[in-house]
Amino acid sequence: MKEKDKLKIKIPSNEKQMNQSISTKSTEIVSTMELKSNNSNINTYNNYITNTEYSSDSFQIENNGKEEKKKEKSKKKIKKNFFQKIISYKKLKKGNLTLYYFNHKKIPQIIIGPDYKSFIFGFSFFIIYYIVIFTLTFKHTNFFFELIGLFFTIIQLLFYILSFLLNPGIQLKKPKEDDEYIPTCIYCGVIKKLNIKQKHCFSCNICILGYDHHCVWIGKCVGKGNKIYFRLFLFFCLFNFFYMIILISLTYQMNPN
């Protein structure tokens, strides 16, 4: 009986130890779990902060980049609008001519003819001719005479360029469908004006108002728009021709050798 009592007494003591050990282990597990959860919370918090900082920085960078792009686009638009007001042009092909419309106007300001290569040849010939004469006469004549000759050659070349570039007076108006009794050109179908001379040029393949003739050396026709400049060009050609003869004769008199 005594041994049984001892056993009965030991069993409860073992249970208490077991309970204590279980409770200590559970507390250890709970504490480790809490530590792990705290560490994970700290890590998540740190990751959140770094991510938010990175995202805020990237957001600011993106915003700055977008603002810079907007500024660049606005600057380009301003430049385009500024240059379009000055240089905006439209290129069209009519007959054998190339038409350039500037600043959204209905009438072409510059027209390049089919024989533009002849103009390039003529212009280069004039430049070479005057350079040769001025170099030969520069040392032997008065500087004042040289300046006068240079001034008139510049004016001559300027009128030559204007007669080459400007609109000779092309007719582009075509009759409407209702207008059956308006006279038109047989070849290009434009309206024929009766109050001014108008003729169809077969080289340019278009009607010219105030038609004079087709000049190969300006690459197109001489008409109402460029007739004055062409005549001034011819006048200064003759004037410079005689002036150069005078310069050459003066150089020969001053230096006969």
CB 85 within 8 A of CB 103: yes
Q: Could you tell me the residue ranges of all domains in the chain?
A: 1-87, 93-254
Using CA atoms, how far apart are residues 216 and 46, in angstroms rounded to an integer? 84
* Mean predicted lDDT score pLDDT of the chain: 74
Of 161, 155, 158, residue with least CA distance to 239:
155
pLDDT score of 34: 55
Pairing state between β 198-201 and 110-112: unpaired
DSSP assignment, residue 184?
A: B
Q: What is the pLDDT of residues 171-218, one digit of tens each?
A: 888 777 666 678 888 888 888 887 788 889 988 888 998 899 999 999
Which pLDDT tens digit goes with each residue over 2-15?
Answer: 444 444 444 444 55
Q: How high is the pLDDT of residue 94?
A: 83
- How many whole angstroms separate alpha carbon 235 and alpha carbon 61? 68
Which element (helix H / strand E) includes 110? strand 110-112
The pTM score is 0.63
pLDDT for the residue numbered 231? 94
The owner of tokens 């006048």 is 235
